[in-house]
Amino acid sequence: MPVVVTRLVRYGLYSDVDVVAARRAVNDWAKEIRLSLLDRTKVVTAASELARNTVIYGRGGTMALEIVRDGIREGLRLTFDDHGPGIEDIDRALTDGYSTGGGMGLGLPGAKRLVNDFALTSTLGVGTSVTVVRWRP
């Protein structure tokens, strides 16, 4: 059975203010679909990290926030798209401790651990797309 989108809103991500708005929306929608406090915290934390990456490394972009259904499962799907420089080595970028920006290198691998589904595509000179899903158990 294919995943069905029951609601979709897109957010521009160009500043810290946009990151805060995205976090708030993810939290509100997570409450709406009755994610537990722990699952809500996980998806909001992942969203915050990925939104910040979109602003800082991707030079801005968008977040698509969706409520999705897969059979009887319901969850939040977040897709972050940018038109930045892209990621040269995806496997390395998903390794704890690796950072091109001088940070702790926990962003992408940390976000991956906080969600149920994680997909990342990137093309040098074109941009990066990260899609994550947190399902309600």
What CATH code is carried by the domain that includes residue 120? 3.30.565.10
Residue keyed to tokens 């994610």: 35
Does residue 2 surpass a pLDDT of 90?
A: no
Per-residue confidence (pLDDT) for residue 100, from 0 to 100: 56
Give percent above pLDDT 90 in the chain.
Answer: 79
The values of phi and psi at residue 98, to 5°, are: -90, 130
Rounded mean pLDDT of the chain? 91
Range of the domain at 58: 4-135
What total number of domains does the chain contain?
A: 1
Per-residue pLDDT of 50-93, as tens digits, reads 999 999 999 999 999 999 999 899 999 999 999 999 998 888 88
**3-state DSSP helix/strand/coil percent for the chain, to nearest 5?**
35, 35, 30
Q: What one-letter code names the amino acid at 122?
A: S
Does residue 136 surpass a pLDDT of 50?
A: yes
